Amino acid sequence: MRRPRHVLRSRSSLAALFVLFAPTAACAQGTDTTITVQPTARIQIQNFAGSVTVRAWDRNAVRVIASNTRREDVVIRGRDAALSITTVSRTGVPAPLAYEISVPAKAALDISGTYTDITIEGVQASVTASTVQGDVRLRGGDGVVSLKSVQGSVTVQNAMGRIEVNGVNKGLSLRNVSGDIAAETVNGSIVLDGVESSDVEAVTVNGRVTYEGTIRDRGRYRFGSHNGSIVISIPERANATIAAVSYQGAFSSRFALPAGVAVASGRHRANFAFGDGSARVEAESFQGDIILARPGDAVARPKE
């Protein structure tokens, strides 16, 4: 007995449709959802690989747009005060995923990834972001700001609070930042520009350290490099005790030291004071030079 032709046609058509559209459907899954949260909610985001871009907006809600396929689920848990966004793979190691997330400006962020680029713009709250292989870029941030990357660069702009930046294999750049600042890397330069702080520490092993910012009375500023130069801007009216140490480098100033400045020199160091000397500026380079400059002369700024 022959089967009805239309049934065969129907089955083959279904199979053809499956073959043709199944992969497309998986690729086109995507996520676009919006969840109401409190304006000061804590948002936790984990993305194993790919990118996370977070932008502040003026709504008390979080919008998550992700490029996931059917092989990955974007799991969003919580609402109101705390929200977590994670990627769960159905097939083992998650594929690279691009997240575009909008959050309230006052929402605190905790973002982590492994092979992930992280970009955050406009947030006015605490930010923690860490990745292994990827760049971290932050514009904004207020409160505790902690940024880490092993293989990527870290750049911060317009942040304030207690700022801690850690790199390993690339340089660090902090511009227009204020508060207590700690920056450390191994193989890269550190640029601190437009800093307003009483407490700065910037140390690298293989790279240059440049500082352009305030030297506040009773402040503490510490800069170190193994084989890079250290360039520090000293405002004209600064009250600072300078303690410069170098084993193989030289000490120099791009401006004439004011009359009356007594230099206490030793085998590898020079100490002297400007004004009442209440701030302490320590610069230490094993092989590099230590250079004092006036504001505007320390950091080479990128062209606008």
Partner 1 sequence: MTDIPGAPRTAGMTGSSDPWTDRLSEYVDGDLDAPTRAALDAHLATCADCRATRDAIERVLARARHAPYREPTADLWTPIEAAIERTRVTPIEAPRRQRLITLSVSRLVAAAAAVAILAGGTAWMIASNRTPRTLAATPDSVQAPNVMVTPAALAVASYRDAAADLERLLEAGRSTLRPETMRVIEENLRTIDLAIAQADSALRRDPGSEYLNQYLATTMQRKLKLLRRAIDITAARS
Torsion of CA 43, 49, 55, 61, to 10 degrees: -40
Long-range contacts at 67-74 (CB < 8 A, ≥ 24 apart): 67/30, 67/97, 67/98, 67/99, 68/29, 68/30, 68/31, 68/97, 69/26, 69/27, 69/28, 69/29, 69/95, 70/25, 70/26, 70/29, 71/26, 71/95, 72/97, 74/31
Where is 7: in which H helix or E strand?
Answer: helix 5-27
Applying CB under 8 A, which part among 17-25, 33-41, 61-69, 244-252 lies near partner 1?
244-252
CB of 87 to partner 1, least distance (A): 15
Backbone phi, psi, residue 171, to 5°:
-85, 170
CB of 144 to partner 1, least distance (A): 19
Binding mask 98-137 for partner 1 (x = CB under 8 A): ----------------xx----------------xx----
**Residues between 258 and 277 that touch partner 1 (CB under 8 A):** 262-273, 277
247 binds partner 1 (CB under 8 A): yes
3-class SS letters over 136-185: EEEEECEEEEEEEECCCCEEEECCEEEEEEECCCCCEEEECCEEEEEEEC
187 binds partner 1 (CB under 8 A): yes
CB closer to partner 1 out of 8 and 264: 264
Applying CB under 8 A, which part among 70-78, 153-161, 172-180, 282-290 lies near partner 1?
282-290
CB closer to partner 1 out of 1 and 256: 256
Applying CB under 8 A, which part among 57-65, 69-77, 156-164, 248-256 lies near partner 1?
248-256
69 binds partner 1 (CB under 8 A): no
Compute the residue count for the chain. 304
222 binds partner 1 (CB under 8 A): yes
Long-range contacts at 150-158 (CB < 8 A, ≥ 24 apart): 152/117, 153/188
Q: Which of 76, 180, 257, 295 binds partner 1 (CB under 8 A)?
A: 257
Residue numbers at the binding site for partner 1 (CB under 8 A): 114-115, 132-133, 150-151, 166, 168-169, 186-187, 203, 205-206, 220, 222, 226-227, 241, 243-257, 262-273, 277-278, 280, 282, 284, 286-287, 292
